Structure 1
Amino acid sequence: MRPLNSADFTNTTIVHPKFFFISGFASIPHTNYYYVFLCSVYAMTVLVNTFIMFMIYTDHCLHNPKYIPVFNLAVSDLCGSTAIIPQMIDTFLFKSHLISFEACLTNFFFVFLFINMQSFTLTVLSYDRYVAICFPLRYNEIVTNKSTLVITAVLWVFAGTANVIAVIFINRLSFCKSNVIDSYFCDPGPIHLLACNDNTPSSVINWTHPLLILWFPVLFITGTYILIAKALLKIAETSERLKAMKTCTSHLILVSVFYLPICITYAMGSTIHQNARMINMSLTTILPPLLNPIIYSLKTEEFTESIKKLYRRKKIHCR
């Protein structure tokens, strides 16, 4: 794509391109196989997360503080996958690389809104495990439906506000250079590199955003598990200690699947090849929404019992 015309650009003029060109996986060979993989993952993600939401909504036994974050995670996973995978397939499989400036900002907003909520929900789940193990006798007093719903609502408002601010600052950037986004979606990092006016305030937001949605949650989760480990060491019986540890296993797997690839990519910075970065980040955004419900929900005893009850009801109804 040719650079934008900068003849009319001045320090007081904001120039927006009519379209951005998303380069994506153009330089990576055999990407058609990757799109087949994307379609399969998306179909399974929609199916599994919809099933999780249906079960939690219909079974009153699951209407407790533990499953409010699980329902919220399923919503975030489903909406997040819908915000990014169909757009990726349309962009690269059907060669629709052009995206309007307004649609690009909308895409950025929703992709990061649901990624933010996935991160925040994992943080809420770590708090739930912390209270359950460190304050078992006060768990029902501290973690209630009301408190969990309030925390979830506050996090949605916070995530939405943070992304609105980020969109406002991107909208104040002027683009008089290339309009090619070197990513697989409207990634704010590559977009900032295209700006030709003073993008210091927007760059600050761009660096603050990962701090809020990545490093703070990681530090919080790490802190809760340090306290959990101390509490587990005080349990005298090995069987009780293992039982308590087992309740944390699924959450730790979710945390590892979601955060480790992102942290590694950010830690490597410019040393990682751009193609490797895009594949790694795309897998980070599409695999956790599929794995989260399978790892955290379908393996829990309460959820298994709920599925068995549904099966028995349908069996009786058929008779």
Structure 2
Amino acid sequence: MLVLSLYLYFSFRSQMYNQTFKYTVLLMEGLKIAPQYNQLAFIFLLIAYIFITVFNIGILVQILADKSLHEPMHILFCHLPINDVMGANILLPRLLKDILTDPSERYITYVECVSQAFFNQFFSTAAHTILMISLSIRLSHCRSVIQNHYCDNASIFKLSCESVVINNVYGLTFTVVLLTSSMGSVFITYFRIAMICIKSKNKATNRKAIKTCSTHLSVYLIMLISGFIPIILHRFSEIPEGRKISAILFFVIPSSLNPIIYGLQAKEIRQKVFKYFTKNNSM
């Protein structure tokens, strides 16, 4: 699926050069921050970017380097830091650059914009990403301003003066189906675990199950709430800055909390991390 997705993506990208667009260079609207707060916003996002990168990669390296952690549960943790680091790198480096750039000079090529939108949506569903991006790049565009602080699918099809009903219907339908199936599967899973815990008389096993499930549920709810807010605010054009900030928090908050909630909650990983820092402090 990954190979097919990349093949289709680069096929679309090569076709773009053969099409005539009114604008090949776009202007990124970016965040509307008062000049006196530019440096403060830059420092905050830079700290968040470093934190996300260092802690997620640190947990990933710790799991891969320590053979005692090569267990299914810990290997499963590897997906989360990889996803968090990739998500942060899709948004934050470009955003940091734009904060220090004059609003009239925040240029991005159309190809770069489509590439960012592609990778922004890639980690949802590969087939969905290909279809969403293809529905957007099929449209001619008559505008040259990305009314957002980064390129996503909605920002691309808003460049067009053609009807985007198909894009909106498909996007909303897929969102509803994805969220319904996700929430439904989580509810069924936790209901079955709860039934097993009620029937079980082993208190130690029940405590361990509750601890593990509460951790997973915390991360899931954080991601769900952080993802819901930008989707809802995208439908209210009168509060664009609120939508932009919520989208940034979607990338920053879960990625910052995941290594703490998931990584340090795992007893084996927590012991290895504390042992490492204790050893360095004693030297």
Equivalent residue number for residue 116 of structure 2: 107
Residue 302 of structure 1: aligned partner: 268
Q: Distance in 1 between matches of 2:268 and 2:139?
A: 50
Report the Cα distance in structure 1 between the residues aligned to 2:81 and 2:22, rounded to whole angstroms. 36
| Residue type of the alignment partner of 1:235 | S
Residue 61 (str. 1) matches residue 68 (str. 2): yes
Give, in whole Å, the separation in 2 of the partners of 1:93 and 1:272: 26
Moved more, 216-225 or 51-60: 216-225
Instruction: Name the CA distance, whole Å, in 2 between partners of 1:295 and 1:223.
Output: 23
TM-score, structure 2 normalization: 0.80
Q: Which of 18, 26, 39 is the equivalent residue of 1:20?
A: 26
Partner in structure 1 of residue 242 of structure 2: 276
SS at match of 1:270: coil
Measured after TM superposition, the shift of residue 266 of structure 1 is 3.3
Q: Structure 1 pair 278/111, CA: closer, same or farther in 2 (3 Å)?
A: same
Q: Is 1:181 matched with 2:146?
A: yes
Between the two structures, name the one with larger relative contact order (CA 8 Å, sep ≥ 6): 1
Range 19-28 or range 264-273, more displaced = 264-273
Number of residue pairs the alignment of both structures matches: 261
User: Counterparts of 1:89-128 in structure 2 under 5 Å?
Assistant: 89-95=96-102, 96-114=105-123, 116=124
Instruction: Name the residue aligned to 2:14.
Output: none
Cα separation, partners in 2 of 1:212 and 1:290, compared to 1, 3 Å: farther
Distance in 1 of aligned mates of 2:164 and 2:82: 34
2:225 is the counterpart of 1:225: no
CA contact (8 A) 2:32 2:241 kept: no
Q: Is the 1:22–1:180 contact (alpha carbons within 8 Å) kept by the matching residues of 2?
A: yes
Q: How does 1:95-244 map to 2 (within 5 A)?
A: 95=102, 96-114=105-123, 116=124, 159-176=125-142, 178-211=143-176, 214-236=179-201, 240-244=205-209
- Paired position in structure 1 for 2:49: 42
- Taking the aligned partners of 2:119 and 2:264, their CA distance within structure 1 comes to 27
Deviations 1:6-55 (A, max 9, x none): xxxxxxx8635212222121266735422211000001111101111111
Query: Separation in 1 of the partners of 2:230 and 2:53?
Result: 27
For the aligned residue pairs, the C-alpha RMSD in angstroms reads: 2.9
Instruction: List alignment gaps of at least 5 residues for structure 1.
Output: 1-12, 117-158
- Which amino acid letter does the alignment assign opposite residue 51 of structure 2? M
Q: Find the residue that maps to 2:72 and give its secondary structure.
A: coil
1:265–1:272 contact (8 Å) kept in structure 2 = no
* Distance in structure 1 (CA, Å) of the matches to 2:204 and 2:73: 23
Q: Percent identity?
A: 24
Partner of 2:87: 80
What is the CA distance between 1:299 and its match in structure 2? Answer: 2.3
Kindly tell me: are residues 301 and 188 of structure 1, through their superposed partners in 2, closer, same or farther at Cα, counting changes over 3 Å? same
Deviates more, 1:236-245 or 1:60-69: 236-245
Q: 1:32 to 1:105 in 2, by over 3 A?
A: same
Summarize the Cα distance change of 1:50–1:194 in structure 2 as closer, same or farther, 3 Å threshold: same
